[in-house]
Amino acid sequence: MNGDFWGVPVNVWTILAAALVTYATRAGGYLVLSRFKRIPPRVDAALNAVPAAVLTTLVAPSVVSNGPAEALTLLICLLIGLRLPMMGMFAIGWVVIVALRATGI
Amino acid sequence: MSPTRSDFYQGLRDSLPIVAAAAPFGLLFGTLAVDNGLSVGEAVLMSATVFAGASQMVGLELFDTHVAPWIIVLSVLAVNFRHVLYSAALGRRLGGMAWWQKAIAFFLLTDPQFAASEARTDRKLPLTLPWYLGMGLPVYVLWIIEGWIGAMFGRLITDPGALGIDFLLPIYFLGLVLGFRARPGWLPVVIVSGIASVLGFYTVGSPWHVSLGALAGVIVALILPPPPAAQIEAVEVTP
C-alpha cells in the first residue's frame, strides 16, 4: 500500500491499527474476566490449561509439516525434555537439528 | 541484594533462552519488512508497537499485495487472538500490581512472557513487576534492535536453515509445553490441542490452527472432572 492519509503514510496507520488490536487482545481477556467476582472451578481449570494448549499448537504442526530431520529432532527433544531441564534440552535440540540437516535426511 | 533487585535479575536470567531463540526472527522480520516494501522506520515502528512476531510476519506478507489495510489489521487480530486467553489466565496472577503496572504488563504479554510467568507461578514465586520487567524488557528492546539491524543489513545471514536457527522456536515451545506437565489434565489437553492444531493446519490453514487447536484443548480442560478440591479453591479476581 502506498499513499498518505492526513500526511502520514497508510502503512503507518495500518501498523498502528495492528498494534491497537494486538494490545486489545492482550488486555481484553483480563478485562472480561475481571467483571466476575469469583472464577468457577471449571473455568479456572480451563484457564490453567491455556499455556499447554496454546503452546502445543505452535509445536504440533512443526512435527508433521517439515521433514524427517525436524520430526526426529522434536521426538528426541521430547524424550530428553522429560529428563533434563529446559536449557539442556534446548541446547541438545539445537545440536541435533544442525547435525540431522547436515546429514541431508 | 534487595528482593526487588534480585527479582529483576531472576527475570533477566529467565529471559536469556528466549532472547537467543527470538533473535533470528527479529532479524528475519526486519529483512522481510524491507523486502515487502516497508521503510526501515516502518519496520522498527511495527516491532516496537505490535511486538508479536508471528503476526508481524503475516502482516508483512500482505503489505506487498495491495490488500486493503483493514484486511491486514484483521489478519493480525486473527494471529494474535490467542492473547485473549493469555490475558484471562495471567490476569488472575497479577493481583499484586496496580492498574498501570498491569497496563504495562499486558503490553509485554508475548508467548514466552506468558509461559515464563505461568511457570514462575507453578514454582510458587511471586509475579512482581521487577521480575516481569526483567523478563520482558530485554526481549522487547532486543526485538526492536533486531528488527532495525535486519532491515539495515538483512542479507548477511544467507542460510539460516543450515544453522538450525529457523527451528529454535518449535524446540523452545516444546520445552515450555513439557514444563507444564505437572498440571492437572495436561496429557489429554496436549494430545487434543496437538491433533486439533494439525487438522486445522491442513484444513483451515495457518494461523487459524493456533486458535482452533488451543480452543479444543481448553474445552477438554473445561469438561474434564475438576481436580481435587485442594487445588481448585476459587481464585479471587481483583479488578
Residue B82: name the closest of A15, A55, A16, A34 by CA: A55
State the virtual CA torsion across B176, A55, B101, A20 in degrees, nearest 10. 150
CA distance A41 to chain B (A): 6
Percentage of residues in chain A having pLDDT higher than 90: 52
Give the closest-approach CA distance of B26 to chain A in angstroms: 16
Per-residue pLDDT of chain B (239 residues; tens, 9 = 90+): 567 789 999 999 999 988 988 888 888 889 878 877 889 999 999 999 999 987 887 787 777 667 778 878 887 887 788 899 899 999 988 888 999 999 999 999 998 999 999 999 999 898 999 999 999 999 999 999 999 999 988 656 566 677 776 787 788 789 888 988 988 899 999 999 999 999 999 999 877 788 889 899 999 999 998 766 544 444 444 33
Give the ipTM of the model, two decimals please: 0.82
> Shortest CB distance from B171 goes to which of A10, A65, A90?
A90
Q: Establish if B14 touches chain A: CB-CB under 8 angstroms.
A: no
Q: What angle do CA B81, B85, B91 make, to 5 degrees?
A: 130
Query: Could you tell me the maximum CA-CA distance found in chain A, to the nearest angstrom?
Result: 58
Identify residue B42 by its one-letter amino acid code.
E
Nearest chain A residue to B109 by CA distance is: A26
Residue A24 has pLDDT above 90, yes or no: yes
C-alpha cell at B79: 494471529
Closest C-alpha among A59, A66, A14, A4 to residue B60: A14
* Nearest chain B residue to A61, by CA: B198
Distance CA B236, CA A91 (A): 39
Rounded to a whole number of angstroms, the distance from the CA of B200 to the nearest CA of chain A is 9
Nearest one of A21, A9, A31, A8 to B50, comparing CA atoms:
A21
- Residue A102 makes CB contacts below 8 A (sequence gap 6+) with B162
- How many Å lie between the alpha carbon of A6 and the closest alpha carbon of chain B? 15
- CA–CA gap between residue B67 and residue A75 (Å, rounded): 39
Q: Find which of A58, A63, A70, A103 to mutate to test the B interface (most B CBs within 10 Å of its CB).
A: A58
pLDDT one-digit tens code per residue, A51-95? 888 889 889 999 999 999 999 999 999 999 999 987 789 889 989
pTM of the model: 0.72
Contact across the interface for B91 and A10, Cβ inside 8 Å: no
For the record, the C-alpha cell of A58 comes out as 505452535
Q: What is the per-residue pLDDT across B143-157, written as a single tens digit (0 to 9) for each? A: 999 999 999 886 565
The conformation of residue A8, written as its DSSP 8-state character, comes to: E
B97 in reach of chain A (CB within 8 A): no
Q: How far is CA B126 from CA B109, B147, B213, B238, in A?
A: 17, 32, 30, 16
